[in-house]
Structure 1
Amino acid sequence: MVQFLTFIYLGYMFVAMYFLSLFLLLYFKNKEHLFEIPQITKKYSVSVLVPAYNEEDTIANTIKSIFDSKYPLKEVIILNDGSKDNTGKIANSLKKRYPNLKVINKPNSGKADSLNQGIKIAKGELIAVVDADSYPAKDAFKNLIGFFDDKQVGVATPFIVPRNRAIFFERLQVVEYNVIAFTRKLLGYVDAIYVTPGPLAIYRKSALQKIGGFDTKNMTEDIEATWHLTKEGYKRKMCLLSSATTTVPVKISVWYRQRRRWNIGGLQCISKYKKYFLRKGMLGVFILPFFVLQLFLGLLGLSIFFYLLISRSISRYLFTKYSVQVGTPILTLEDFYITPSFLNYLGVVLFILGALFTVMVLWIMKDSVLKKQNTFNILFYLLFYLTVYPFIMIASLYHYFKGTWKWR
């Protein structure tokens, strides 16, 4: 068993070193272009779709931030998805201020179906999707438009920035969002962007029509649409100098449900596109294997953790019981001695490299929250925040196979 675990540890270390090396290689090869903005050589008409369900607290500010855009917008369509609060009333009250604001009141049918209805009536060449609790920066649209001069580009996405960052839990998510954005940008250099987040993404309308719009059965319609566009040969682009802020969960329970929904949506995508595994372009040779590998390593690591915990607990119980019976010491100095080994040293080195990589990302991204981060925050993020994810995956798998899941 010891040899088996050694091979497992070495496998984990190989994967960690591989992806760390990949990201560093992509960064140093492309660092001069990391913050480039694509030049606009053609004017595109843009329709903005805002699906909204019970968003009375945020809808007005979202609409204002959209109309503050430096890029002219053809229309902004609020898709009021059967809200039970004053979302529709507030949106309608702003139509006098913004003449090209349209409000569609419809029965509740979910975000994906609302977007599909919006696509049918949208008049723009490009369709921007903005969540009703998100706020695009003034140059967010302008800094993405230039990507569409390449007719193979199907979607472009910005840097999603957490809006609330006052408390400790929110700042952990700021670190997470920075790392995600940085690595996603790097993956764009090998055409491996696997998601265009809901807070803001701009799609080529003809591309959305080609894939039949958004999948109404998927919990994460943005991930599924990105995979579908990838399958059809469309490129996905990202600009770090285009940004939109979004409200991240304050309560752990809300954060947990959000992450569980993301996981279930990812599982749905794996199931839907599994036939392309190792076959269909970057979807089959990188994105699918990347997701499956994450799932496998997370579950394997959790299994090993519980195996070691249970086996050592049983051993300690039996040893203690025997020691009490025969009158020998329960604890000796040897119990506090950790035998150094190559695996111990390599594990420490990998952890240090991971910490340095996280600090490097925060520094490169120039996020002001870096000034509020301290060593404890980053260590907590690496040691505890990330280690919770395999447990969430277990819960996600349970709900996925049982079928007891819903969007909210």
Structure 2
Amino acid sequence: MITANIIVLIAIVSIWLLLMVNIVLIIAGYQYYLSCEKAKEREPLVKEKLPFVSIMVPAHNEAKVIGQTVEALLRFRYPMDRYEIIIINDNSSDDSANILERIQKKNPDRNLTVINTDAVTGGKGKSNALNIGYQRCVGEFIAIYDADNTPERDALRLLVEELVLDDNLGAVIGKFRTRNRDASLLTRFINIETLSFQWMAQAGRWRLFRLCTIPGTNFIIRRSIVEAIGGWDVKAVAEDTEISFRIYMMGYRIKFIPAAVTWEQEPQTIPVWFKQRTRWVKGNIYVLVKYVPLIFKKEGKKVRFDICYFLSIYFVLLTALIISDTVLIFTLIGWVHLNLAGFSGLLWSMAIILFIIGTFVTLSTEKGEMSVSNLLMIALMYFTYSKMWMAVAAYGFYKFMEDKIKKKETTWYKTERF
């Protein structure tokens, strides 16, 4: 009985500590958003000061979306002669090559290059595709977009200008929004998750620690950094998180610019979502295993917070939530009797209320998102979507261990498009 009470108490304290960290990030993130609103009046750079940019889009069987993405990239409000677009059509078996060829013919005066790889030269994942495209880049800066993205017309210029004006920045990231938000209940959840646990957390981390993690799309990086680190880690599934750590280690910062927006398609069914998120978990665990030895070393000072942050999310929080939910169920059916039942119930209820209020506040930064329907959606989210995340995290860890034991090679983890 004493052991059960102690275990539950530790789990509840762990959940509350991480909940308070999230609240602090929300407050700091909200302050950063307000400061960004005041900075919008800055004059744009004149054409002569804008560098040449290489935009890379790695794509594998993206015929459903690639055409719309390339058309959006061609419409950037950025001088036509100051950027190139390189599409790495990586071992695709669909109609991607024909679609891209038609766009090239329609835009003969644009710097649009298509690299078609096969199973020998490509097909080994996003990192490998990026390394192939990088060999053809000539830009001083390199921007990356996923194949399902529709960036807003000013996104590229905003990213470039921030990087030009601060030599301490190694990369600048914008944010992605959910293009198919109203397609299903799942996409409504993803929309809230993205705004709250992705972008508000990024804003808070930048405000407090001058740290951000590259999201994989809608970001720009200095070419000199890519050259110095030898390209993307081909073993990394979460290549965005991995390269972020290497940028930190070089002494650079990564800044978040909320005004630079791209719209992307999110999974509309649970199987597709589960597969995508499992890949994210596996990728982030790979990065943790790779860099966790630095946590107690002097040279690891710049990445220490992020290592602790990811360890807390994927191990401490996951374990605490599993213990808390399991004990709650066992208590309700009478298998376990706790002296802390009333106290733990109060803390559990307060945690739910804080989760709902904190998440709802983060939506205030986006027009039309702070609604009664979204408030109800957040409440439902706690009892459904959050529990699904626990299953994904646990399964992702299992798949990571399985891949390590079987020594599986990195391949494309294709997210089905709709």
Are 2:248 and 2:303, in contact at CA under 8 Å, matched by a contact in 1?
no
Shift of 1:123: 0.8
Shift of 1:339: 9.4
Q: What are the Cα deviations for residues 311-356 of structure 1, in whole angstroms up to 9, with x where unaligned?
A: 875738xxxxxxxxxxxxxxxxxx9xx9984443333233222211
Partner of 2:263: 245
Letter in 2 for 1:289: C
Partner of 1:112: 127
Are 2:11 and 2:324, in contact at CA under 8 Å, matched by a contact in 1?
no
Output the CA distance in 1 between the equivalents of 2:86 and 2:224: 18
Report which structure shows greater RCO (CA 8 Å, sep ≥6).
Answer: 2
Output the CA distance in 2 between the equivalents of 1:339 and 1:198: 44
Single out whichever of 208-217 and 259-268 deviates more from structure 2: 208-217
Partner of 1:176: 193
Partner of 1:330: none
Partner of 1:158: 174
Partner of 2:65: 58
Partner of 1:354: 355
Shift of 1:4: 3.7
Shift of 1:376: 2.6
Q: SS where residue 277 of structure 1 aligns?
A: helix
Change (3 A) 1:285 1:207: same
Partner of 1:320: none
Output the CA distance in 2 between the equivalents of 1:348 and 1:229: 41
Q: SS where residue 373 of structure 1 aligns?
A: helix
Output the CA distance in 1 between the equivalents of 2:374 and 2:32: 29
Could you tell me the TM-score, scaled by structure 2's length? 0.85
Partner of 1:321: none
Q: Show the 5 A alignment for 1:8-407.
A: 8-25=11-28, 27-28=30-31, 31-33=34-36, 36-37=39-40, 40-41=44-45, 42-72=49-79, 73-98=82-107, 99-107=110-118, 108-148=123-163, 149-166=165-182, 167-179=184-196, 180-191=198-209, 193-279=211-297, 280=299, 283-295=302-314, 296-306=316-326, 309=329, 315=335, 341-366=342-367, 368-371=368-371, 373-403=373-403, 407=412
Q: SS where residue 150 of structure 2 aligns?
A: strand
Are 1:188 and 1:237, in contact at CA under 8 Å, matched by a contact in 2?
yes
Q: What are the Cα deviations for residues 351-390 of structure 1, in whole angstroms up to 9, with x where unaligned?
A: 2222111111111222x34458344311112222112222
Output the CA distance in 1 between the equivalents of 2:71 and 2:279: 29
Where does the alignment leave 5 or more consecutive residues of structure 1 unmatched?
317-334
Change (3 A) 1:234 1:290: same
Where does the alignment leave 5 or more consecutive residues of structure 2 unmatched?
414-418
Partner of 2:416: none
Change (3 A) 1:144 1:123: same
Shift of 1:74: 2.1
Change (3 A) 1:397 1:83: same
Output the CA distance in 1 between the equivalents of 2:219 and 2:268: 24
Partner of 2:9: 6
Are 1:36 and 1:241, in contact at CA under 8 Å, matched by a contact in 2?
no
Q: SS where residue 122 of structure 1 aligns?
A: coil
Partner of 1:332: none
Q: SS where residue 158 of structure 1 aligns?
A: strand
Shift of 1:217: 0.7
Q: SS where residue 34 of structure 2 aligns?
A: helix
CA-based RMSD: 2.6
Size of the alignment, in residue pairs?
A: 387
Structure possessing the higher radius of gyration over alpha carbons: 1
Q: What are the Cα deviations for residues 123-182 of structure 1, in whole angstroms up to 9, with x where unaligned?
A: 111111111111111011111112212122111111100110122211111101111112
Are 1:136 and 1:245, in contact at CA under 8 Å, matched by a contact in 2?
yes
Shift of 1:109: 3.0
Q: SS where residue 105 of structure 2 aligns?
A: coil
Identical counterparts, % of pairs: 25
